[in-house]
């Protein structure tokens, strides 16, 4: 009984971490531009496929697959920013929202055209083997994923707080005009944060592929919407919040699917979403007004 | 461009020509394929006009229109298949139930949520309702509901494409005229005040909360009518129709057609109904073309294709 529960929790945690990575990128972009970037989900999907191509055509090992996917996704993110958001930065938020929806439609259907609607098998990057800790069993895949996610989170934190670029990113998202006065070029910083965000999404895509051994072009809109729910649960603008939100959502979904009914999976996620929006629209994690991250 | 605007100023003449053209269109060609496109355009124009009322005239961005559309369609489908009531009873019931659910949703959300947050909450409404349709047997599950009986009026049952065309035409003209009348009334002016600035509107004595709920409810009423006609026309409905993509499509119609313009919404509906048929041959590529159209409109024609134009009234500025 407890063993089943632990199994459920550890597999839900993997999904929760994926949500968290996508949610983090989403939140970075929201913090800096104040817009909801729908196409971020599709960047995640494209990242997974870039990782797949790296693994199949270039026979890369796990480290290089991750780096390759992150690099590809990052370039895609910067490109999207340049063509879709830069020209309409002065327009209303809703135009920007729908510009990103348009990009999402284009990317998703390009993915469907190139890779087809079916599942594409993802090569095994690590030969999975069970590891037992006392009475509990984990697979080494799960341990590896936890390690990678923690590595990514720590490096994001270090970049944002300890490097000049990271401090500039935070400065622009805190107050763009003041940042300009301090000699920061906001356009560069916006591109860089789109790059960071998209790299996280690409990594999340590869994790999803590694864990399920399957990827498909519609994965962006299914996982992506959940990642968005995770952002709202954690609080838009709070980076630790979106990690926590992703984990909470992953657990709620996994346990709900196991103990209530698997067909209600999406219903559970979106009910949490509505409840949070209703009772705590600022999210569970309070964002101090003077500090967004 | 100036000439085009001048022509538009001969309102009565243009309107009469458009109306006459719409009425005699089935006499010229009653090709079922063409008629089907025309009926779908009319149904979607009701939906896009109701969304236009919400987005362009009240300033509420909603991604939940597919949910309201779906409520109308499902109520019609269930009442039609289970009770066999006549359509003139079912259609208002569908519209009212959609309106009631929307008003309730507005009541619980407008207090705390604004702008983009409301759009997200309405998107959650779409997903939750879809989960309900798919999981509850009463709503037919993933198979949907089939065999919705045809509407009958004065003993004359509306089954052929041409009769459905006039049926849908009647309701879309009714919606257009009544929405326009609403917009120039006291309520409409309150909506536009809210669109311009919520705080100023509040100071001027507009009950912002109430009028937002009213706007959402009225919009849902028309969406319910659209959904009901859709269910009658298609005979079969399934939960997959009422997904978030449907909402996004409806918003595309409004944005591409023209901001602050009901005829723009109709033109948008026509574009997004007819285009898929023209592009049928290119398969998956057509979705990419949709995306491109939306994207290019936002970048190059941010105000949409059609300038603001009122069928009934001359608005003095």
Residues from chain A that touch B287, judged by Cβ atoms under 8 A, are 105, 108-109, 112
Alpha helices in chain B (DSSP H): 2-9, 11-28, 32-52, 65-82, 87-109, 115-135, 161-184, 186-196, 198-203, 208-234, 244-257, 262-278, 285-300
- pLDDT of amino acid B223: 94
Sign of CA dihedral B269, B45, B310, A88: negative
pLDDT at B283: 66
Residues of B in contact with A112 (CB under 8 A): 284, 287
Shortest CA gap B138–chain A (Å): 16
List the domain boundaries for chain B: 11-300
DSSP B145: B
Give the tokens for residue A215: 């990827």
Report the pLDDT value the prediction gives residue A118, as an integer from 0 to 100. Answer: 81
pLDDT at B225: 93
Q: What is the Cα Rg of chain B in Å?
A: 19
Query: Would you give the end-to-end CA distance of chain B in angstroms?
Result: 20
Q: Do B291 and A112 lie within an 8 Å CB cutoff?
A: no
State yes or no: pLDDT of A291 exceeds 50.
no
Distance CA B87, CA B72 (A): 13
Domains, chain A, in order of start with CATH, read: 2-120+136-279 (1.10.3470)
Query: B131 CB near a chain A CB, below 8 Å?
Result: yes
Task: Establish if A133 touches chain B: CB-CB under 8 angstroms.
Answer: no
Give the model's pLDDT for residue A60: 79
Residue B196's pLDDT is what?
A: 87
Cβ of A282: how many Cβ atoms within 10 Å? Answer: 17
The two three-digit tokens of residue A145, written as one number: 């994923």
Question: Does A93 touch chain B if contact means CB atoms closer than 8 Å?
Answer: yes
All residues of chain A having their beta carbon less than 8 Å from the beta carbon of residue B61 are 94, 97
Q: Which of A267, A268, A275, A276 to mutate: most B Cβ within 10 Å?
A: A267
Locate A157 and state its tokens: 């934190």
Please name which of B133, B136, B139, B108 lies closest in space to residue B121, comparing C-alpha atoms. Answer: B108
DSSP state of B271: H
Spatial contact of A202 and A74, defined as CB atoms under 8 Å apart = yes
The residue of chain B nearest to residue A113, with distances taken between CA atoms, is B284
Summarize pLDDT for B213-246 with one digit per residue, the tens. Answer: 999 999 999 999 999 999 988 888 888 888 888 8
Residue B13 reports pLDDT greater than 80: no
User: Hunting for tokens 């590529």 — which residue is that?
Assistant: B285
Look at residue B8 and tell me whether its pLDDT is greater than 80: no
Q: Does B102 touch chain A (CB under 8 A)?
A: no
* Beta-sheet strands, E only, within A76-198: 120-121, 130-133, 136-139
Would you say the pTM of this structure is higher than 0.90?
no
The nearest CA of chain B is from the CA of A280 a distance in Å of 9
Q: What is the mean pLDDT of residues B113-141?
A: 82
Sort strands A136-139 and A214-215 into parallel, antiparallel or unpaired. Answer: unpaired
**B66-92 b/e with 16+ CB inside 10 Å = b?**
bbbbbbbbbbbbbbbeeeeeebeebbe
Q: How confident is the model at residue A290 (pLDDT cuts 50, 70, 90)?
A: very low
- pLDDT number for residue A293: 45
- Is B302 in contact with B254 (CB distance < 8 Å)? no
Closest-CA residue of chain B to A277? B121
B114 vs A contacts (CB less than 8 Å): none
Q: Mutate which of B260, B295, B303 to disrupt the A interface (most A C-beta within 10 Å)?
A: B295
Name the token pair of A29. 């972009």
Residue with the bigger pLDDT between A176 and A2: it is: A176
Of the candidate CATH numbers 1.10.357, 2.60.40, 2.60.120, 1.10.3470, the domain formed by B11-300 belongs to: 1.10.3470
Pair of tokens at residue A175: 């107050």
Interface of A with B in 140-199 (CB under 8 A): none
Higher pLDDT, A51 or B146: A51
C-alpha distances (whole Å) from B126 to each of A231, A232, B102 are 19, 17, 11
Chain B contact set for A95 (CB, 8 A): 255, 298, 302
Q: How far is CA A113 from the centre of its chain?
A: 23
Q: Which pLDDT score, from 0 to 100, does residue B5 have?
A: 56
Report in angstroms the alpha-carbon separations of B270 from A220, B156, B164, B274, B317: 29, 28, 17, 6, 29
Distance CA A251, CA B188 (A): 46
Judging contacts by C-beta atoms under 8 Å, the chain B residues touching residue A102 are 291-292, 294-295, 298
Cβ of B120 within 8 Å of Cβ of A277? The answer is yes
> Among B55, B124, B287, whose Cβ lies nearest the Cβ of A273?
B124
The total of other beta-carbon atoms located within 10 Å of residue A169's CB is 24
Residue B287's pLDDT is 78
Contact B120 A102 (CB under 8 A): no
Residue A270 sits at the chain B interface (C-beta within 8 Å): yes
- B295/A contact by beta carbon, under 8 A: yes
d(CA A250, CA A19): 7
Give the pLDDT confidence of A115-165 residue by residue, as tens digits. Answer: 887 888 888 777 777 777 776 677 788 888 888 999 999 999 899 889 999
Nearest CA in chain B to A279: B112
CB contact A56 to B (< 8 Å)? no
Pairing of strands A214-215, B156-157: unpaired
Integer Cα distance of A6 and A134 in angstroms: 12
| Chain A residues inside the 8 Å CB shell of B65 | none
Closest chain A residue to the Cα of B123, Cα to Cα: A270
Inter-chain touch B255–A87, beta carbons under 8 Å: no
- Interface check B8 vs A, CB under 8 A: no
To the nearest whole number, what is the mean pLDDT of chain B?
A: 84
Q: In the predicted model, what is the mean pLDDT of residues B17-31? A: 81
Q: Long-range pairs for B129-133 at CB < 8 Å and ≥24 separation?
A: B129/B67, B129/B70, B129/B71, B129/B242, B130/A266, B130/B67, B130/B70, B130/B239, B130/B242, B130/B243, B131/A263, B131/A264, B131/A266, B131/A267, B131/A270, B132/A267, B133/B70, B133/B74, B133/B239, B133/B242
Looking at residue B6, what is its pLDDT?
A: 58
Q: Residue A251 pLDDT more than 70?
A: yes
Closest approach of chain A CAs to the CA of B162, in angstroms? 34
Among A91, A105, A108, A220, the residue to mutate for chain B (most B Cβ within 10 A): A105
Q: How far apart are CA A34 and CA A91, in angstroms?
A: 12
Q: What is the pLDDT of residue B4?
A: 55
- CA dist., res. A194 & res. A288, Å (int): 23
The predicted-structure confidence for A197-244, as pLDDT tens digits, reads as follows 999 999 999 988 888 888 888 888 778 778 888 888 888 778 888 889
Q: Do B124 and A270 make contact, defined as CB atoms within 8 angstroms?
A: yes
Break chain A down into helix, strand, coil percent, rounded to 5: 75, 5, 20
Q: For residues B3 and B75, which has the higher predicted lDDT (pLDDT)?
A: B75
Amino acid A292: pLDDT: 45
What integer pLDDT is reported at residue B44 of this predicted model?
92
Suggest the residue from B298, B299, B300, B301 to mutate for an interface test with chain A (most A CBs closer than 10 A).
B298
What is the mean predicted confidence (pLDDT) over B102-124? 84
């Amino acid at each position: 009984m407890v063993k089943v529960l632990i199994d459920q929790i550890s597999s839900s945690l993997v999904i929760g971490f994926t949500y968290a990575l996508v949610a983090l990128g989403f939140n970075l972009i929201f913090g800096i531009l104040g817009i909801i970037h729908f196409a971020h989900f599709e960047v995640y999907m494209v990242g997974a496929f870039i990782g797949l191509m790296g693994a199949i055509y270039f026979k890369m090992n796990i480290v290089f697959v991750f780096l390759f996917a992150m690099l590809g996704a990052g370039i895609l993110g910067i490109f999207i920013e340049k063509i879709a958001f830069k020209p309409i930065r002065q327009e209303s938020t809703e135009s920007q929202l729908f510009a990103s929806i348009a990009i999402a439609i284009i990317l998703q259907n390009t993915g469907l055209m190139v890779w087809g609607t079916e599942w594409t098998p993802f090569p095994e990057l690590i030969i999975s083997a069970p590891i037992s800790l006392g009475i509990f069993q984990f697979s080494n895949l799960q341990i590896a994923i936890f390690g990678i996610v923690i590595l990514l989170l720590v490096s994001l934190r270090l970049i944002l707080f300890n490097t000049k670029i990271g401090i500039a990113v935070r400065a622009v998202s805190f107050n763009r005009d003041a940042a300009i006065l301090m000699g920061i070029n906001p356009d560069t910083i916006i591109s860089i944060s789109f790059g960071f965000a998209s790299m996280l999404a690409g990594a999340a895509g590869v994790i999803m592929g590694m864990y399920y051994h399957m990827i498909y072009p519609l994965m962006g809109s299914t996982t992506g919407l959940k990642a968005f729910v995770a952002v709202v649960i954690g609080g838009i603008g709070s980076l630790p919040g979106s990690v926590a939100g992703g984990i909470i959502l992953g657990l709620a979904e996994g346990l709900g699917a196991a103990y209530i009914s698997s067909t209600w999976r999406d219903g559970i996620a979106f009910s949490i979403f509505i409840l949070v929006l209703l009772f705590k629209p600022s999210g569970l994690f309070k964002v101090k007004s003077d500090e967004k991250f | 461009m100036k000439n085009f605007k001048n022509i538009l100023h001969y309102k009565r003449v243009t309107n009469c020509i458009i109306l006459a053209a719409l009425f005699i269109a089935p006499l010229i060609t009653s090709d079922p394929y063409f008629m089907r496109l025309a009926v779908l355009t009319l149904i979607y124009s009701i939906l896009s006009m109701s969304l236009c009322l919400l987005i362009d005239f009240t300033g509420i961005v909603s991604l939940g229109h597919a949910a309201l559309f779906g409520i109308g369609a499902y109520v019609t489908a269930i009442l039609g298949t289970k009770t066999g009531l006549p359509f003139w009873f079912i259609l208002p019931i569908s519209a009212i139930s959609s309106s009631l659910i929307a008003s309730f949703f507005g009541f619980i959300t407008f207090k705390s949520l604004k702008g983009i947050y409301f759009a997200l909450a309405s998107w959650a409404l779409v997903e939750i309702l879809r989960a309900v349709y798919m999981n509850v047997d009463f709503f037919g599950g993933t198979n949907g509901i089939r065999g919705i009986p045809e509407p009958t009026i004065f003993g004359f049952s509306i089954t052929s494409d041409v009769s459905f065309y006039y049926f849908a035409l009647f309701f879309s003209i009714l919606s257009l005229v009544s929405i326009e009348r609403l917009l120039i009334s006291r309520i409409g002016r309150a909506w536009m005040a809210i669109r311009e600035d919520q705080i100023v509107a509040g100071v001027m004595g507009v009950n912002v909360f109430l009028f937002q709920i009213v706007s959402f409810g009225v919009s849902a009423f028309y969406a319910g009518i659209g959904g009901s006609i859709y269910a009658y026309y298609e005979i079969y409905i399934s939960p997959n129709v009422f997904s978030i993509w449907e909402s996004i499509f409806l918003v595309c119609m409004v944005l591409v057609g023209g901001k602050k313009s009901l005829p723009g919404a109709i033109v948008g509906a026509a574009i997004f109904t007819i285009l898929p048929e023209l592009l049928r041959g290119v398969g998956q590529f057509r979705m990419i073309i949709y995306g491109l159209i939306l994207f290019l409109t936002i970048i190059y024609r941010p105000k949409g294709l059609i300038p603001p134009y009122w069928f009934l009234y001359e608005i003095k500025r």
